[in-house]
Structures are given as C-alpha cells and as structure tokens.
Structure 1
Amino acid sequence: MMRSAWARRGERGNGFVLRLMFWISLDLARAVGRVLLKPIALYFYLTDRPARRASRLFLERALGRPVGRGEVYRHFSTFSAVAFDRAIFLAQRADDYRIDIHGLEHVVARIEAGQGCILLGAHVGSFEVLRKLGRFAPVSVRPLMFRSEAGVLSRMLDDIDPGMRDAVIDIERPEAMLKVRDCLAEGDLVGILGDRIPSGHRFVTMPFLGGQAAFPTGPLLIASLLKAPVLLFSGLWIAEKHYEIRFEPFAESIELRRSRRTEDLAVWVERYAARLETTARAHPFNWFNFYDFWEHPQHAAMRS
C-alpha cells in the first residue's frame, strides 16, 4: 500500500518533553510553559533535519525569496506556540485569548436554515480554535479524520479533553459516512482537512506555489456524495493569545457529471488548492506540513 510522505513521517515529538511542557502549562502556570516554548522549538529545529529542509523549501516558495535560519526557526516556533495553545483550548482555559472572526455570517446562515455543512480546511494554523468557537454554537462541530495516523501530540491532546476526542468521526470506521450524513441532516458542522493524502487513497496533482503538488480527492468527493454545501475555514495564529478565524463560501453543491466525474472532481480540487495557496502566501508561518509537500506520493512510496 502506498504510504504518503506525511504518514511515513507521522507526528514527530519527544513524548516526555511534550508531556512535561503540558503539565507545567496546565497544572502550574501558563507563563512558565510559554518560557519553555523557545527551547523546545530550538530542540526540534536542531534535531529534525528533514523538517528544516521542508520548512525552508516551503517558505522560499511562499515568500518568493531565499530564507535564512532565523525564518526557519520562526516557523518551528510558531508551530510550538500553536501546539501549546491546542492544549489550552482543549482544557478550556483560553478565556483571555483574543479571537477575531471573519465571515461568521456564512456559518450563521447555515445554522439558521437548519442546514449542516462541511468546513474544509488544511493543516494551517489551529483546528482547536474552531472547537473553542463550537462550544458556544447551537450546533456541534464534528471533525472527520483518520485516527490511526494520530501521533504523540494528538494522543496527548485526546487525554486532555476526552469529550472532544469522542466528537471525532473516524473516517476509517465502516459507519463513518452514515455518521457524517446524520450530522449534516441534523444541521451540524463537519470539519475536514483536505491537504494531506492518507495511505492508499486517491489524489490528483495540481499547481501549488510554483510546483506540482498532490492533493486528496476524498474530501470533495464526500461533499459531492452527501450533497453538502462547503465553506472554507482557517484558524490562524497572529500573535501570542491572538487568533483569527476565517470562513468563506466555497460551494453550494459539488456536482460531478457521470461522464466526466474525474475531470469535474479535479476542477474542484484545483479551486481548493488555489485558495490554500492564497492563505499560505498570506500566513506562511502557519503552514504545518513539515515534509516535502511537492514530493510525488508514488515516488515517496518507492523509497520507503
């Protein structure tokens, strides 16, 4: 079975270091935990050469110029800050955070109409900030994801908030699509991240930041099969304790003609890739795919 680049790398992390940081952050003082962020980011920066290379490759494409070590370290540091805040959000201790929301009217319109929709995002910024927003919404936010690919960090976050863990719909379960269908019928929001290719799943290559990158077809195929409207979303880290959530319309309905199903699906994936490129250029340090995003999955599988 083909193994995608991100699945082969997994979520890297020293479990002891991460658990120590979260224990200090949640049980002692958040200020102490924040002090540890810089040395932890530096540790991963110094010890993960492939991630450093991937960061530099991405940043140079997104910024359109050469980047130095300081900007690569800043990329690692932003990821560390967001990982720290994921724990804070799940522990419900983010009352003093500033969260700016743009495009909320698009979500409100769906809720008022009693119509569920798919929130399509990427590994850019924080999904947990959206979960925080969902705590105050009259409907549920249900992430659809591959739980078998979860790494050290994800398992630790599950331990912090088992309730949020239970909200996840595991796409590998046989009843997953029925659950998604029922959630949408009840007017709930289903979150999907559409930028990584799970092992053995179909993909298409699209122009992205000056190269050809592979994107999964699954998320948009699900939207088409369930006839669900799609909104794009992102939860962007702006500064310490400051996030920005953005929603924007993407599709009222994704229609795939029987005779041109593959071509139509590729058109929708290309639209998604184009919008993701805009976000990546505007907020490059929020990009958290620390692997060669332009490496063709089949080529990666040959070397694994």
Structure 2
Amino acid sequence: MTSPKLTDWTQQKERTSGFWLKLIRGLALLFPRWLVKPLLHPIILFYMPISGKQKAASRHYLNQVLGRPAGFWDTYKHFLWFATTILDRVYFLTNRIEPFEVEYTNLEAWQASMKKNPAQLYFGAHFGSLDAIRALSSDLYDIKIKVVLKVDQNETIVKLLNELNPEMETMVIPYNGLQTIFDIHDTIESEQSVAILKDRPVGQEATVKVRFFDDEMLIPIAGFKLAKRFDIPVTVFFGRFEGGNRYHVYSDALTFEPGASLQEMAQAYMDEVARQCCQSPYNWFNFYHYWLDDEDASK
C-alpha cells in the first residue's frame, strides 16, 4: 500500500541553500559552536515565510504531541532544533565533541549487546541526530554501523558534510531499490550493523499502516522482514537534542511477541517513536504530509 501524499517527501526540494550550508560549515570549522549558533536565527526567519508546507506539517504534528494548538514560536522552535542538529553535524563529523554534554540510557546493555552480536539491525527515525549517535558511540566502543540513506534527496547536505569526513561516506548504504536489500545482507554477513530510518517510505516499496498519535500513516516493512529473516537483535536508537549543548543517546532492544505479524512489529516500533516524541517533541523532523487523510486511512 502506498499513498501519493505520503511519498510526497521524495519530491520535496531541499530547502537548505548551498550558500548558507557552506557559510555555516566554514564558520563552524573556524569558530566555536557558541559563536556560530546565533546565526541560525536569521536563516530560519528567512526560510519560514517560503516554507508553507513544512510549517503546516510542523503545526499538524505539534498540535497533537503538545496537546494544544501550536503557535508561531512552537513552529519556530521546531525549525530551530532541526537547524541546530544540522550545525552540530559539522562538529560531530570532525570529532569535535568536547562542547557537548551527553546523557546515555541503557549504555552498558547496548555495549554488551554489540560485543556479543556485532551484526544487528538498528531502527531509528528522522528524529534528533543520527550523527550524534555515531560520533558519540564510536568514541565509547568500536562500533561499525552502516546507515541506509536516500542520498539524492539531500544531495547538497550529504556532499558538503562528506567532505568533512570522507570515511563517513563508506558507512552509508545508498537506497537503490532491490539492490539495497543485497547490500544490507552483505553488511550483516560481514558482522557489521545496519541502521535504517523506518519512519518514511521510499518510492513504491511495500508499506504497512500504523497509528501515530491521532493519525494513521504508512511505514516501510522491509526492515521488519529482514529482522524475521536474519533472526538477529533489533535495537531502537535515538539521539535526542535537548537544547543548549545537550544530547541524550537512547537505545533499547525492540522485542516482539513470538509469531508477531509485520503490522504488529511496525506498530511496536512506532509506539516507541511516539514515546520519544512525547519526551522531546521538537526532535521529530518530518516536515511533510506524512499522515493519511480520511479517505486513505479507510482503505
């Protein structure tokens, strides 16, 4: 099952100008974070008036997670936290993690699990910072995690950031339809872990309907099929930005009832995403029409 509106994010153009990205990247390489971060405010004020669809998606989500009508400053904060995580990618990719305060949940269990089973499936979301997880986890333990990424959707950002740390490019599995499944299989067979952001479908891939707050939405089922096929541990992971210079790296085993259906597995994952959103609402970075309208939800 697919939905034209749900897959609309793949047609959505990058809102981040190459000029602004190069400027922020250059300043971040030269100056400390506290000096560069204030520049995000004029950039956001520039983009908000021309980002109607993104603002509408932000308000739709925030209305539900906050339990009240979202105002201008709620949407502004949502955009600001997203922009901050992009800025922080420069520091994470250049291993300049000293400015950050990091809290971990289930760290010891995570390390023990990775030591016992170096090949795992990690299910994340477009939530917080994936680079925070990779940079901070590799500092604690020699963890090799390859990430499945639709590179061409964020080509400008990916290209500029890969220039900061060319090694990171080797840790990406580009989304390429069926070939991606073979690449994931080879990665797991080589005893490396694979991270998949499970909250967005790509193209015409198979999906399943799940509940997310007051909405129904579609998410891809390929990762859950892989979990069944390989019979390897599945971990949910989130790098929550918590304001200032604080990040919270959370990981936990995602367990399923014996014989669970793909829909039940998908709902268990989405329930955990919703729980994370309740704890830190401004980290959900899906600025597109991700929810099913009534006529689609009834199908």
Say yes or no: does 1:85 pair with 2:82: no
For 1:126 and 1:118, the matched residues in 2 are separated by 18
1:42 Cα deviation (Å)?
1.6
Structure 2 equivalent of residue 285 of structure 1:
282
* Structure 1 equivalent of residue 269 of structure 2: 272
Q: Which moved more, 1:107-116 or 1:266-275?
A: 107-116
> What one-letter code is carried by the residue in structure 1 that aligns with 2:199?
D
Whether 2:242 is the aligned partner of 1:238: answer yes
Per-residue deviation, 1:27: 2.6
Give the C-alpha shift of residue 182 in structure 1: 4.0
Counterpart of 2:207 (choices 173, 198, 203) is: 203
Contact 2:256 2:265 in 1 (8 A): no
Q: Does 1:56 align with 2:59?
A: yes
Relative to 1, partners in 2 of residues 1:273 and 1:287: Cα closer, same or farther, differing over 3 Å? same
* Cα deviation digits, residues 14-46 of structure 1 (max 9, x gap): 111121111112134433321201111222222
1:7, 1:102 → 2: CA distance?
33
Q: Write the distance in 1 (CA, Å) between the matches of 2:164 and 2:266.
A: 34
Q: Is the 8 A contact 1:144 1:169 kept in 2?
A: yes
1:121 has 2:124 as partner: yes
- Alignment length (residue pairs): 291
1:149 shift after superposition: 2.7
Work out the CA distance in 2 between the residues paired with 1:35 and 1:28.
12
Supply the AA of the counterpart residue of 1:45.
M
Q: Counterpart amino acid of 1:131?
A: R
Which of structure 1's runs of 4+ aligned residues deviate more than 6 A?
none
With 186-195 and 72-81 compared, the bigger mean Cα shift is at 186-195
Unmatched 5+ stretches in structure 1: 257-263, 300-304
TM-score calculated relative to the size of structure 1: 0.88
Task: Tell me the equivalent position of 2:229.
Answer: 225
Cross-structure match for 1:259: none
Q: Which residue of 1 aligns with 2:143?
A: 139
Between the aligned partners of 1:52 and 1:175, the Cα distance in structure 2 is 35
Q: What is the distance in 1 between the residues matched to 2:252 and 2:167? A: 28
Kept in 2, the 8 Å contact 1:122–1:195? The answer is: yes
After superposition, give the CA deviation of every residue in 1:205-260 in whole Å (9 maximum; x if it has no partner).
2211112111111221222222221011100001222100001110379867xxxx
In structure 2, the partner of 1:39 is 42
Distance 1:207 1:169, change over 3 A: same
Does the C-alpha gap of structure 1 residues 185 and 253 become closer, same or farther in structure 2, counting only changes over 3 Å? farther
After superposing the two structures, state which structure 1 stretch, 121-130 or 275-284, moved more.
275-284
Residue 193 of structure 1 is matched in structure 2 by: 197
CA change 1:26–1:253 in 2 (3 A) is farther
CA gap of 1:190–1:57, structure 2 versus 1, over 3 A, is same
Q: Secondary structure at the match of 1:150?
A: helix
Residues 215 and 292 in structure 2, CA contact (< 8 A), matched pair in contact too: no
Change (3 A) 1:173 1:134: farther
Worse-superposed segment, 196-205 or 99-108: 99-108
Measure the CA separation in 1 of the matches of 2:258 and 2:148.
18
> In the aligned structure 2, how far is the partner of 1:254 from the partner of 1:119?
20
SS of aligned partner of 2:37:
helix
Cα separation, 2, equivalents of 1:222 and 1:76:
34
Is the aligned partner of 1:156 residue 2:144?
no
Report SS of the residue matched to 1:191: strand
1:248 aligned counterpart, secondary structure: strand
Asked if structure 1 preserves the Cα contact closer than 8 Å seen for 2:150 and 2:174, the reply is yes
Give RMSD over aligned pairs.
2.3
What's the CA shift string for 1:240-285, capped at 9, x where partnerless? Answer: 22100001110379867xxxxxxx1111111111111111122110
Q: Distance in 2 between matches of 1:37 and 1:25?
A: 12
C-alpha deviation, 1:10, in angstroms: 4.2
Aligned with 2:242: secondary structure?
strand
